[in-house]
Amino acid sequence: MKLVLCEKPSVGNTVAKVLGVKSRKDGYIECGDHIVSWCIGHLVNLALPEEYSKEYKKWDKLPILPTEWKYNILSGTKKQFDVIRKLMNRKDVTGIVCATDAGREGELIFRLVYNEAECKKPIERLWISSLEDTAIKSGFASLHKGSDFDNLYRSALCRERADWLIGMNLSRFFTVRNDKVFSIGRVQTPTLAMIAARDKEIMNFKKGYFYTVDLDCNEFVAKSDKIENKSTAEKICAVCDTARAVSVKRENKFTAPPKLYDLTTLQREANKHFGFTAQQTLNIVQKLYEAKLVTYPRTDSRFLTEDMEDTAQAVINTITNTLDYKISETPNIKPVMNNKKVTDHHAIIPTVNLNKTTLESTSSDERKVLELIALRLLTATAPKEEYESVKVGLESGGEKFTVTGKTVINDGFKAVEKQFKTGEEKETALPDIAKGNTYDVSAKVTEHETQPPKAYTEDTLLSAMEKAGGKDFDENVERTGLGTPATRASIIETLVKRKYIERKGKSLVSTALGNELINAVPETLTSPAMTVEWENELSKIAQGKADNERFMKNIEEFIKETIKN
């Protein structure tokens, strides 16, 4: 018998159906020569400081640097852990299949349970990106050796323990020093700092004005460059009665189709179109994944692997047969395939399970996100948009004016996109303008206000988190930015829960408490630089190119240095 351990009960049920359900028990399912069981998220968690020593009940006893790490089982999930431990140690179970989510955190969840159960049996690894029956069967037909993922586990363990050390030590240190409860985190603190800095820019913004002279040439309007002084603009306006075209530049250009969705980009788009928070989108797409309607959601790739051409074509056929979107040209799948840009999982796409029946079983919000994912596959494989760009320079009253226009030659992917997006501003096509043409004009001065920076929305914050420190990451690092696609939503929710930021409409703004925290900690904790360094090292550990013990030693030194100062 082999014990298959999944991450969630719903996934366990899906896997069991494929393996052939024989008998359902309390906490597991027997499937012939397999037993399928499941975790309930993180069954095994790091112990609190006071579980190491009673002296740590006092928050000024620092630093806390365990030499042997302790773990515990949450009381609410102990029953399921006991089920798994008994199954792992059953005499007829000869091996374990790790079937938790195929990524760093999934590997950690499994290994902690395996270690805490004191299991020594051989491990095999199921590594799949879809819960479709065919994907599960294929995965079981080509299981990996568990040892192939030892470095991934070491990387996950370092991330978990380093975050614990930062949180437990520095939260206590800055709380005691400032006589106010502060929560410090490697990702949450620099994220809060970005929001606080933006809010400060908005608060300190001084409104200004600039002016343009606008020439109404009957069929089009040309504008001057920005003019700082109103009287200067009025003087220019007073002498403008005719205009002459002095330059006409025409260029054929194109706009490339968008890339497929990774989780962060999907969260941004769902926030922009539907106002969903990042966490809401993650919850929705997770349900769609467990319903076998989309592929694995917690991905940071926007490409498919090069063996997926037939799969992608089949999914496109399914979309056009199920949804109301039409395509007029044969899909070009080659541009969305790139093995080098797929790490743990490929981009998020629908599955061939999408049909009228499954669509009817989804909620309104689930259908919105599902259609967004489906539409992106259609647009990403559609032709480029082709257009002629025209820039005309005019002269009037001794001053220069410009007007630009765009004439679409081929809508390409925009023809598909327009079936979803409505009310977008249309590009202006200019009349036929030749160099030397003259026009009688009506001129006026237009006043413009300078605009402050915009407060972060969930969309723009996710983008900022993704790009933070980007230029400092190694070329081959697995992930860049603050957090990972799977954790960014929870970081935002944690900041809201701890009252460091709040939602005002679509905006995310820092609170007085959040600003107090940022002002109380050194720049090393508010800058993304530390995360850049960590993720570089964690990626190298996962690749077997860096020493996990050296990484942890550096974290401990950083904590000692911070507390000393």
Instruction: Name the residues annotated as catalytic.
Output: 296
Cβ neighbourhood burial of 171 (10 Å; 0-12, 13-18, 19+): middle
Q: How far apart are CA 540 and CA 475, in angstroms?
A: 11
Burial of 565 (0-12, 13-18, 19+ CB in 10 A): exposed
**Measured at the alpha carbon of residue 105, what is the angle toward residues 308 and 162, in degrees to the nearest 5?**
140
| DSSP H or E run through 186 | none
Give the whole-angstrom CA distance, residue 514 versus residue 520: 10
Residue 383's Cβ-side half-sphere holds a number of Cα atoms within 13 Å equal to: 13
Round to whole Å and give the CA distance between 308 and 347: 11
Spatial separation of the C-alpha atoms in residues 207 and 533, rounded to whole Å: 39
Q: Which helix (H) or strand (E) holds 408?
A: strand 399-410
Own/partner pairs, 164-171, CB within 8 angstroms, 24+ separation = 164/46, 165/64, 165/65, 165/555, 165/556, 165/559, 166/555, 166/559, 168/49, 168/64, 169/62, 169/63, 169/64, 169/559, 169/563, 170/521, 170/525, 170/559, 170/562, 170/563
Q: Is the separation of the CB atoms in 103 and 298 below 8 Å?
A: yes
What DSSP string runs through 265-313?
A: HHHHHHHHHH---HHHHHHHHHHHHHTTSB--SS-----B-TT-HHHHH
| DSSP at 234 | H
